[in-house]
Structure 1
Amino acid sequence: MTKPSKQYFSLRWRFLIIVLLLLGIFFRCFNLNHKIYWHDEVYTSIRSSGYTGDEVIKEVFDGRVIGVEDLQKYQHPNPEKDLGDTINALAKNPEHPPLYYLMARYWRQLFGAAVNHPRGLSVLFSLLVFPAIYWLCLELFESPLVGWVAVALLAVSPFHVLYAQEAREYSLWTLTIILSCASLLRAIRKTKNSRKVTHYLWSWVIYGVTLALSLYTFLFSIFVAIGHVIYVFILERFRLNKTSFAYFIASVAGFLAFSPWLVVVVTNLAIIQHKTHWTTIQVPE
């Protein structure tokens, strides 16, 4: 292939990637306020406003005719409930860590509680996934082309578009997973290429922070952390060296930061089992 042909081929790929990226942005922002605000999103609004489902049922279903205004007060922050009430409501449903819901509360205080506004926070996190996945690919493959292809594929992925338009924590979870993986790879690379601790210390701090943020977003991040353990110790051949030691300290720090909510989870395991019992029901074939 001649040099002009290679250049033309490269330009065609760049154009395609840009088109897919623009389509992904469009699909994430389109029709946000016309899709049904469904069951799980309603619970996002209720809990981030400082109420629990049981509390709403007790106050609303009392034999009176229920108007729109009667329900609206549970859908957005109001003077009756403060930040402490939101944390207490989440503690009674500990299967969902508090990070996203606290952010959703402040987001709706800033922009309002219209249907498209809570979903806008998820759209924002989904858009931030693009540079995050690009960074992860640079750490993995050291290839900008691979990074752009990954961005393009993720941009038009129906799975990611679907969750980008829901007022739920899954876009944030995706973002924190990718950031924790990329920051881990960066910290390992910095540690191997540096002799002074000060040259790679902050890389491990960033990893510990992103790990804690991921845990505070979704409990299944524990499995991501287990994957990191396996990866690091296989990479280092189960030797205790500066890389594995730095990883151990950073991961312990991340879990220590998560320990307040971990205590809530452990002390409310029975509630979690009750709340998630529906996941054990087999769907008829």
Structure 2
Amino acid sequence: MKYQVNSISREAHKTIYGLHLNVLRFLVIILLAIGVFCRFTNLEEKPYWGDEADSLNWISGYTRSEVIQATMRGEQMSVEEVQKYQRPSSEKGLIDSIKAVAEVPAHPPLYYMMARLWMQLSREVMTSRTLAALISLLVFPCIYLLCLELFESPLVGWMAIALVSISPFQIIYAQEARQYSLWIVSILLSSWALLRAMRINTKINWGVYTLTLALGLYTHLISVMVAIGHGIYVAANERFRFSKIIIAYLIASLTGFILFVPWIIAIIYDSRSNGDQSPSWSKIPTPLTSLVQTWILNLSRVFFDFNASFTYKNLLPYLFVIILVIYSIYFICRYAPKRVWL
């Protein structure tokens, strides 16, 4: 009788857990639909800013010097004349787009090549933003795979999808005609590929990691920092022993950087030919207080957008987010395996 009661209790618990899981999935689907809607709403209504204008110039095959020479003549220009440099045409091809980006090698060419081919479908500015929004949808399966590899729990994957689907930070970059949505995808994908290769140590899995690492490098130069982070993770996870995993990782990473050598050459050539072309604002020292404000503001917008600039007078909502993040990190470090929180 006691065994029968325990059996019934376990079945009831499974049923309740299953119902809760179904409800959670339903809520995630609703949030996902809202997130997709927000990513594609009013793309044509938002004015595009300076960096997006530069992107469109490069996508159209015009270098910065060509645009300056054509537009800074002291003459009034029509909208159509300006838009000539922001929409692909038969005058400039894909090779011209690559050459234009190569003059500013701090921006690797992958996204701009994709955008050039995509904008052949339509020459409207919105088309480039549509590409960024479409790429951002790949964040959902990528973060699900990463969570599944880390936590071995579909539930955690669903919750992660819910968070990124309505994240103000994710939505705003998904609507920008720049490489950032592709970069986010490459970070998630390379991190998943690394964890999988460490768990299933095969040449195919390490080859996948190599390709995803190269994908990130050809998307954004700061992917170098992601690669360094991966290296620290692998070394710490292997307790700094020269193991088979370490050897496989070094070979895969080296191969990924070898694939990136053509663009490294472009960077070196540009630095020797043109010197330091970094914008003037990047050379102005930023006060520590301003940095702290920016860090807090950006951290909060991963979860909430309070639609206000951060000041120490409206600290309370931001303090709530900081405490939540700190507690989440503590909880993971306290209860999850080292390979998860490391």
**Does 2:286 align with 1:275?**
no
**Does 2:51 align with 1:40?**
yes
**Does 2:176 align with 1:166?**
yes
| Highest RCO, 1 vs 2 (Cα 8 Å, sep ≥ 6) | 1
Matches within 5 A, 1:258-269: 258-269=260-271
Alpha-carbon shift at residue 147 of structure 1 (Å) = 0.5
CA distance in 2, matches of 1:254, 1:47: 26
**Does 2:31 align with 1:20?**
yes
Range with bigger deviation, 135-144 or 7-16 = 7-16
Query: What is the identity, as a one-letter code, of the residue corresponding to 1:9?
Result: H
Contact kept, 8 Å, 2:87 with 2:124, in 1: the verdict is: no
Alpha-carbon shift at residue 272 of structure 1 (Å) = 7.5
State the aligned residue count.
Answer: 276
Contact kept, 8 Å, 1:95 with 1:272, in 2: the verdict is: no
CA distance in 1, matches of 2:23, 2:247: 46
> Which residue in the other structure is 2:82 paired with?
71
Matches within 5 A, 1:102-181: 102-109=113-120, 111-181=121-191
CA distance in 1, matches of 2:49, 2:128: 13
Contact kept, 8 Å, 1:190 with 1:203, in 2: the verdict is: yes
> Which residue in the other structure is 1:227 paired with?
229
CA distance in 1, matches of 2:17, 2:80: 63
Contact kept, 8 Å, 1:24 with 1:161, in 2: the verdict is: yes
Query: What is the identity, as a one-letter code, of the residue corresponding to 2:182?
Result: L
Report Cα offsets for 1:232-268 as digits up to 9, x if no partner.
1111222222211111111011000001111222333
Secondary structure of the equivalent of 2:197? helix
> Which residue in the other structure is 1:250 paired with?
252
Contact kept, 8 Å, 1:21 with 1:152, in 2: the verdict is: yes
CA distance in 2, matches of 1:90, 1:66: 25
Range with bigger deviation, 86-95 or 55-64 = 55-64
Alpha-carbon shift at residue 78 of structure 1 (Å) = 1.6
Report Cα offsets for 1:200-255 as digits up to 9, x if no partner.
11111110010001001000000000011111111122222221111111101100
CA distance in 2, matches of 1:272, 1:107: 33
Alpha-carbon shift at residue 105 of structure 1 (Å) = 0.4
> Which residue in the other structure is 1:87 paired with?
98
CA distance in 1, matches of 2:67, 2:267: 23
Under a length normalisation based on structure 2, what TM-score does the superposition of the two structures give? 0.77
CA distance in 2, matches of 1:121, 1:265: 26
Give the gaps of 5 or more residues in structure 2: 1-8, 291-342
Report Cα offsets for 1:47-88 as digits up to 9, x if no partner.
111112221120222233211221121112222222222121
CA distance in 1, matches of 2:174, 2:33: 15
Alpha-carbon shift at residue 18 of structure 1 (Å) = 1.1
- Percent identity over paired residues: 49
Query: What is the identity, as a one-letter code, of the residue corresponding to 2:94?
Result: L
CA distance in 1, matches of 2:136, 2:229: 23
Q: CA RMSD in A?
A: 1.8
**Residues 26 and 223 (structure 1 numbering): CA distance in 2 closer, same or farther, change over 3 Å?**
same
Which one of the candidate residues 238, 241, 244 is aligned to 1:239? 241
Contact kept, 8 Å, 1:139 with 1:186, in 2: the verdict is: yes
Report Cα offsets for 1:14-36 as digits up to 9, x if no partner.
22111111111111011111111
Secondary structure of the equivalent of 2:281? helix
Give the gaps of 5 or more residues in structure 1: 192-199
> Which residue in the other structure is 2:206 paired with?
204
